[in-house]
C-alpha cells in the first residue's frame, strides 16, 4: 500500500466533505439533537406519581396515613375522588396512575389492634411502571406499619424492641440510582453507531451513481488505498461528534466519568472504525443511495438500541436474542461504557470487549475490500 496515494484519496474526499457544508453541519448537529431528545425524554426515574384519593372515612387516622404519601417525593396527591366512577374516569383520561381507597372502617381496625386494609388501584397499561409504583406504595405502607407497631408496644410499656435482622442496602457504581448515569453513555454508543455507519454508507454508491468511480479506478490507486483514504475524513468527523457527545454528557447532563477518559476515547475510536467499515461494506453492496441509507439504519440503529444491553438487560432476553446480541458490535461498547463511566475499571477487565471490537474492525474492512474488488473487477 502506497501512503502517498492513500493521502491523495484522503485529501480528495476531505475536499468533497468540506464543500458539502450542509451535510457536514447536519452530521455534526446529529449527536446534539439525539442526545437532547433522548437524554431528556428517555428516563426510568419515576417521581411525583399522579394520585387520586378516595377517602370513605375522612378520619384523623386515615388522614395521618395519607400524610405519609404526601411527604414522599414519589407521589403527588392531586385529586379527591368521591366514587369509583371518578377513579375510572381519571384513569381512563390518564390523569392519574394510582388511586388510594381508604375504607370506612380503617380507623376502627387500627384502634382495635387488628389489620386494616387499604386498596391501591394501579394503571397496569405500563406493566414496568406499575410494578415500580407498587413497590413505592408497599414501602410507604411498611414505614407506616412500623410506626403503628412502635406506638402499640409503647402503650404496653415496651420502650424499645430491636429488630432481629436489619438489611442495609448499599449501591455500588451508581449510588444515586440516577437513570441518566447509564442512559447517556448508552446513548453515546447508539449515536456513534448511527453516525459511523451513515457517514460512509453513501460514499461508494454515490460516486458510482455519479459516474466518477470509474475515472478514479483508472488511476494507479489500489482498492485498499481507496477505501482507507475515503475512511480517513469520516473518521475525523466521527471523532468530532464523539467529543461533542462527551462534552454534552459531562456539562449538560452532569454524568460523572469515574474511569480513564483516554481509554474511553481510544476504545470509542476503535468502535468508530468498526462502524465506518460496516458503512463502507453497506455502500459497496448497495445498488443505490436509498437502499444504502435504509440498510444502514436497519443494521445499526435497531440492533444497537434493542440488543446492545443499553435499554434492555441481555440476560433477561430470550435465549436466541442473547445469542444474536453477540453479533451486534454496540454490545461491546455498551459494556465498555458502563465499565469506564460507572465502575471506573480499566483494560484489565474490559479487554474481551476491546478484542471483539478489533475483530469486527478487521472483519468489516476486509469484507469491504474483498467485495469492492469483486464488484468492480
Residue 121, strand partner residues: 99
Given a cut of 70, whether residue 354 has pLDDT beyond it is yes
| 37-61 confidence digits (pLDDT tens) | 877 777 767 888 999 999 998 888 8
Provide the whole-model pTM.
0.78
Write down the pLDDT at residue 79.
92
pLDDT at 377 over 70: no
Asked whether residue 280 carries a pLDDT value surpassing 80, the answer given is yes
Residue scoring higher pLDDT (377 or 338):
338
If pLDDT is split at 50, 70 and 90, which confidence band does 350 have?
A: very high
221-253 pLDDT, tens digit each: 788 888 888 888 889 988 988 999 888 888 888
Q: Which of 217-231, 298-312, 335-349 has the highest mean pLDDT?
A: 335-349
> Can you give the pLDDT at residue 76?
92
Name which residue leads in pLDDT, 4 or 233. Answer: 233
pLDDT at 107 over 80: yes
Which domains occur in the chain, in start order? 3-43+178-376 (no CATH), 49-155 (3.40.1710.10)
pLDDT of residue 373: 63
SS (H, E, C) the chain: CCHHHHHHHHHHHHHHHHHCHHHHHHHHHHHHHHHHHHHHHCCCCCCCEEEEEEECCCCHHHHHHHHHHHCCCCEEEEEECCCHHHHHHHHHCCCCCEEEEECCCHHHHHHCCCCCCCEEEECCCCHHHHHHHHHHHHHHHHHHHHHHHHHHHHHCCCCCCCCCCCCCCCCCCCCCCCCHHHHHHHHHHHHHHHHHHHHHCCHHHHHHHHCCHHHHHCCCCCHHHHHHHHHHHHHHHHHHHHHHHHHHHHHHCCCCCCCCHHHHHHHHHHHHHHHHHHHHHHHHHCCCHHHHHHHHHHHHHHHHHHCCCCCCCHHHCCHHHHHHHHHCCHHHHHHHHHHHHHHCCCHHHHHHHHHHHHHHHHHHHHHHHHHHHHHHC
The CA distance from 213 to 198, in Å, is: 19
Distances, alpha carbon 213 to alpha carbons 205, 233, 284, 292, 296, in Å: 9, 18, 12, 17, 21
pLDDT class of 370 with cuts at 50, 70, 90: confident
Range 17-42 average pLDDT: 78
Residue 353, pLDDT above cutoff 90 = yes
Lowest mean pLDDT among 3-7, 225-229, 261-265, 347-351: 3-7
Per-residue pLDDT at 298 exceeds 80: yes
Amino acid at each position: 500500500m502506497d501512503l502517498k496515494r492513500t493521502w491523495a484519496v484522503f485529501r480528495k474526499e476531505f475536499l468533497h466533505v468540506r464543500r458539502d457544508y450542509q451535510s457536514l453541519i447536519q452530521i455534526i448537529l446529529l449527536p446534539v439533537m439525539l442526545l437532547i431528545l433522548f437524554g431528556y425524554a428517555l428516563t426510568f426515574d419515576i417521581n411525583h406519581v399522579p394520585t387520586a384519593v378516595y377517602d370513605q372515612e375522612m378520619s384523623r387516622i386515615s388522614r395521618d396515613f395519607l400524610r405519609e404519601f404526601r411527604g414522599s417525593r414519589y407521589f403527588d396527591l392531586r385529586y379527591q375522588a368521591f366514587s369509583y366512577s371518578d377513579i375510572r374516569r381519571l384513569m381512563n383520561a390518564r390523569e392519574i396512575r394510582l388511586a388510594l381507597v381508604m375504607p370506612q372502617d380503617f380507623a376502627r381496625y387500627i384502634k382495635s389492634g387488628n389489620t386494616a386494609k387499604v386498596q391501591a388501584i394501579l394503571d397496569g397499561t405500563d406493566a414496568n411502571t406499575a410494578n415500580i409504583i407498587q413497590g413505592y406504595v408497599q414501602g410507604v405502607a411498611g414505614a407506616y406499619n412500623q410506626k403503628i407497631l412502635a406506638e402499640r408496644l409503647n402503650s404496653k410499656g415496651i420502650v424499645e424492641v430491636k429488630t432481629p435482622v436489619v438489611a442495609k442496602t448499599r449501591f455500588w457504581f451508581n449510588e444515586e440510582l440516577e437513570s441518566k448515569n447509564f442512559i447517556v453513555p448508552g446513548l453515546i454508543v447508539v449515536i456513534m453507531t448511527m453516525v459511523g455507519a451513515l457517514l460512509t454508507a453513501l460514499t461508494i454508491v454515490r460516486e458510482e451513481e455519479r459516474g466518477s468511480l470509474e475515472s478514479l479506478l483508472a488511476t494507479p490507486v489500489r482498492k485498499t488505498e481507496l477505501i482507507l483514504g475515503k475512511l480517513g475524513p469520516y473518521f475525523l468527523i466521527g471523532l468530532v461528534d464523539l467529543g461533542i457527545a462527551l462534552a454534552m454528557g459531562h456539562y449538560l447532563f452532569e454524568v460523572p466519568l469515574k474511569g480513564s477518559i483516554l481509554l474511553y476515547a481510544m476504545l470509542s475510536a476503535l468502535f468508530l472504525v468498526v462502524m465506518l467499515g460496516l458503512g463502507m461494506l453497506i455502500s459497496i453492496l448497495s445498488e443505490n443511495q436509498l437502499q444504502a441509507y435504509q440498510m444502514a439504519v436497519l443494521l445499526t440503529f435497531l440492533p444497537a438500541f434493542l440488543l446492545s444491553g443499553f435499554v434492555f438487560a441481555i440476560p433477561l432476553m430470550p435465549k436466541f436474542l442473547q445469542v444474536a446480541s453477540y453479533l451486534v458490535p454496540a454490545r461491546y461498547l455498551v459494556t465498555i461504557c458502563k465499565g469506564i463511566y460507572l465502575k471506573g475499571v480499566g483494560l484489565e477487565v474490559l479487554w474481551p470487549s476491546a478484542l471483539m471490537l478489533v475483530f469486527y474492525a478487521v472483519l468489516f474492512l476486509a469484507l469491504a475490500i474483498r467485495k469492492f474488488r469483486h464488484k468492480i473487477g
